[in-house]
A and B are shown apart, each in its own frame.
Chain A
Amino acid sequence: MQRYIVHRLLQGLVLLFMVATIVFFLGRLTGNPVDLMLPEEATAEDRQAMIQALGLDGSVYEQFVIFITNAFRGDLGMSIRMRQPAVDAFFDRLPNTLAIIPWALLMAMAIGIPLGVVAALNRGNFIDRLAGGIGVLGIAMPSFWLGIILIFVFSVELGWLPSGRMGGPEHYVLPVITLGAFLVAGFMRLIRSSMLEVMESEFVKLARIKGLSEWVVIWKHCLRNALIPVLTLWGVFVGNLITGAIVTETVFAWPGVGRLTYEAVIYRDFPLLQAVIILKAILILSINLLVDILYAYVDPRIRLS
């Protein structure tokens, strides 16, 4: 088990190093990164100071070493627009994103899982096709557009819910639906195909022969096993949530890290964007690592293979 954890940890570090390397070289792709990192009204002295600080008068290799060392110290540069360390800007906003993500996940599971099971039970008939239709629609509808429709219907026309910004519980409803809908279709499809596979297996037949009620067989024996592949795809879902949060928070003016990413793009705030990407990579990798370890703990087959 320890070997497994060390192995996975090293893998994560390599990946993080790759991300940092790509970010670094993309920043230098267009010539002088100082132009990307300083505000337009910067003076010649500002430029010189930054060139010194980043070692830009040295070779690319030296610059890279400085970049990585600074990153290790938690210094990912200053945001141009907010005039504060980019890392601080990220952590100021992170709690706001974490405030909607669990609800969106919960919603996606509460709808996606039963829908997938019911679709699998009714394979090929009308209900299956209806569930399939919802799944396809969920993929076809860009989530930013869904968000705008929700605002149009529930805020503009009906006036029931606020159209954006953070606030009381009523402010959470539309963003959570938008972000959750992003995942429902994926959950449903996955559970459906995984259920179909499990329902064919020997132990399910045995459970039936034992005379267990159909309800117990389906919702306990089958679903539990059908959830395993969903867990292994956890990493993809975390990535999806992070992507979905960018769009959702932009539509609803939600002051989280997704909106921060959008602002970094719109205002061409390169240091902020670079920090956001590296910090999100750390976040994604740590969550993945944590889940993998838990998973290996629960299921010995994983850590032995």
Chain B
Amino acid sequence: MRRAPWIPIVIISTMLAMALFAPLLAPYSPIDQTLRDKLLPPFWMEGGSTKYLLGTDGFGRDILSRLIYGARVSLLVAVLALTAGGGIGLTIGILAGYLGGMIDNVLMRLVDAAFTFPAILFALLLAVTMGQGMATLVIAISLLLWASFARVIRGEVLALKQRDFVALAKVRGCSSLRIMATHILPNVLNTFMVLVTLNIGVVIVAEASLSFLGAGIPPPTPTWGLMISEGRGRIASAWWVALIPGIAITLLVLSVNLFGDWLRDRLDPRLRQL
């Protein structure tokens, strides 16, 4: 058995704490501008001070505070989108796998279609038609997730369907709905949890990318993707504005993926090829 990945767990916990206790941890408001203090470098560089540990951006906002509040957005979007998209995928996967036949055929065609056509295009379209915001973002990212959940869960259900306890339940006269809810569902929850962890990273990168493309949560709410986008034009004079939030994203996604790999090996080694 592999050792628990302690470094990723510490990083994930830190980010979680940042998100939960943002108002307590952040030294400044993430939105208030202090134009007098704009584009100050981090404390270890010349001209930097411990007043703003990670420096300030073009509006004189404290980058550390924005980073801390940004964790909130990233993780909130991740939780909501994984619940919505993962839930839909789980339901479709169970229905398609258990009921089979025509329903399976139609649903799996939809899954294939979703794999062929990049969901990010619909996400951009949603942002333009519905307007930017949390709801749009969550719907958009759910679109990105459901198909892969549905496909893997369906595969699991197809195998479960052949098992004796399902046949027994049928003989005892359980309805299909009841079998799916009480016999199939509990048995795919492990797989579901593994899929959720492995997809947290996907969601965080997607959220950041959409923010970067101007289709995420609108400013001035601090999100990591938006921070990178705002700092992009100043890369020559003030690199820290764009590079620091990127480090946060990369570290978090890396940690979540390593943790997910470990969890998968613990809970369900058969999923290795995911």
Contact = CB atoms under 8 A, between A and B. Distances in A.
Contacts of A148: 228, 232, 235, 242-243, 246
Interface stretch (A26-34, A92-100, A109-117, A220-228): A26-34
A276 B215 CA distance: 16
Interface residues of A, number: 51
Contact of B116 (A137, A140, A276, A284): A284
Interface stretch (A47-55, A58-66, A241-249): A241-249
Interface stretch (A167-175, A209-217, A232-240, A293-301): A232-240
B209 A247 contact: yes
B31 interface: no
A160 interface: no
A4 B215 CA distance: 40
Contacts, number: 135
A265 B128 contact: yes
**Overall SS of chain A's interface:** helix
Interface stretch (B18-26, B87-95, B251-259): B251-259
Interface string A256-292: 0000011011101010011011001100110010000
Contact of A277 (B121, B228, B273): B121
Given A140-B257, A145-B246, A270-B129, A280 B213 contact: no
A178 to B, nearest CB: 13
Interface stretch (A16-24, A68-76, A83-91): A16-24
B213 A265 contact: yes
Contacts of A251: 232
Report which residue of A142, A156, A281 has the largest number of chain B beta carbons within 10 angstroms of its beta carbon: A142
B116 A15 contact: yes
Contacts of B228: 142, 144-145, 148
Given A19-B117, A265-B214, A26 B125 contact: yes
B114 to A, nearest CB: 10
A193 B115 contact: no
A274 B125 contact: yes
A81 B205 CA distance: 30
B254 A136 contact: yes
A30 B199 CA distance: 31
A29 B129 contact: yes
B115 A236 contact: yes
Given A23-B125, A26-B129, A240-B118, A142 B213 contact: no
B177 to A, nearest CB: 29
Contacts of A23: 125
17 contacts: A15-B113, A22-B122, A26-B125, A26-B129, A26-B130, A30-B130, A140-B205, A141-B249, A144-B208, A235-B116, A239-B117, A250-B213, A264-B128, A266-B214, A270-B128, A280-B121, A285-B116
Interface of B: 113, 115-118, 120-122, 124-131, 201, 205, 208-209, 212-215, 225, 228-229, 232, 235-236, 239, 242-243, 246, 249-250, 253-254, 257-258, 272-273
A-B interface, 9 closest residue pairs, ranked by CB to CB distance from nearest: A145-B246, A140-B253, A140-B254, A239-B118, A243-B118, A156-B236, A266-B214, A26-B129, A243-B120
Interface of A: 15, 18-19, 22-23, 26-27, 29-30, 36, 136-137, 139-145, 148-149, 151-152, 156, 193, 235-236, 239-240, 242-243, 246-247, 250-251, 261-262, 264-266, 268, 270, 273-274, 276-277, 280-281, 284-285, 288
Given A140-B249, A236-B115, A284-B118, 5 more contacts: A142-B246, A239-B117, A262-B213, A265-B215, A273-B128
